[in-house]
Amino acid sequence: MPRPPGRHHRQPGDGWVECGCGARHWGLHGAAGLLLHRPEPAGTGPGHVVLQHRALWSHHGGTWGIPGGAIAPHETPEQGAVREAQEEAGIDPGHLTVLTTSTLTHPDWAYTTVVARTTGTQHPRPTDDESLEIAWVHVDDVADLPLLPAFATAWPDLRAALTT
């Protein structure tokens, strides 16, 4: 894997976990990501979600997923997801409401997806070198992208959570 460039955030929870499931996962205390949803007005469509096109040097580089990363020792998964989205995508935490969470639990590690809705204007953009791009993607187009494998598996259930 190529080495990361210099402009990205380091946290005390950064590091790989050799999990009992046989896989290697990022985040010594687990990891979390934010699925931010912008619904269409008055039920006219499913809306858009913020996705991150992952930098080529990163794990599964070139795929699409949600902004996220390692949880710091003092954070809840929700706090970690919101912090990571702010750091990586310029998401304003003052303009979102958490709707639900979904946690994938492994023997030695967990990943929490925090599903949130915008409550104001958001202008997501790459704010560090972890992204090729950050974009609002129409919900109907998400599955057509080359998705991060774990996000591709989770997407049907996460999409359903957007309508609850």
State the pLDDT at residue 164. 63
State the pLDDT at residue 13. 80
Is 50 exceeded by the pLDDT of residue 121? yes
Q: Decide if 7 is inside a domain.
A: no
Cα-Cα-Cα-Cα torsion 66, 111, 80, 67, nearest 10 degrees, comes to -10
State the pLDDT at residue 128. 87
37-45 average pLDDT score: 83
Per-residue pLDDT band at 64 (split at 50, 70, 90): very high
Per-residue pLDDT band at 9 (split at 50, 70, 90): low
Q: Decide if 3 is inside a domain.
A: no
Q: Decide if 123 is inside a domain.
A: yes
Q: Decide if 142 is inside a domain.
A: yes
CATH classification of the domain holding 129: 3.90.79.10
91-100 average pLDDT score: 96
Nearest 5°: the CA angle 48, 49, 52 is 135
43-56 average pLDDT score: 89
Please check whether residue 50 is in contact with residue 134, taking contact to mean a CB–CB distance below 8 angstroms. yes
Per-residue pLDDT band at 15 (split at 50, 70, 90): confident
The encoded tokens of residue 159 equal 């999409």
pLDDT tens-place string over residues 142-161: 999 999 999 999 999 999 99
State the pLDDT at residue 157. 94
Please check whether residue 156 is in contact with residue 66, taking contact to mean a CB–CB distance below 8 angstroms. no
Lowest mean pLDDT, pick from 8-22, 34-48, 49-63, 132-146: 8-22
Q: Decide if 95 is inside a domain.
A: yes
Strands 110-118 and 31-38: parallel
Task: Point out which residues pair with 111 in neighbouring strands.
Answer: 31, 104
Q: What are phi and psi of 16, to 5 degrees?
A: -95, 145
- SS3 per-residue string spanning 54-81: ECCCCCCCCCEECCEEECCCCCCHHHHH
Q: Decide if 8 is inside a domain.
A: no
Domain of 88?
16-161
Q: Decide if 5 is inside a domain.
A: no
State the pLDDT at residue 45. 79
How far is residue 118 CA from its own chain's centroid?
Answer: 15
* Closest CA relative to residue 157, chosen from 143, 144, 146, 145: 143
Q: How far apart are the first and last CA of the chain?
A: 39
What's the structural domain count of the chain? 1
Q: Decide if 1 is inside a domain.
A: no
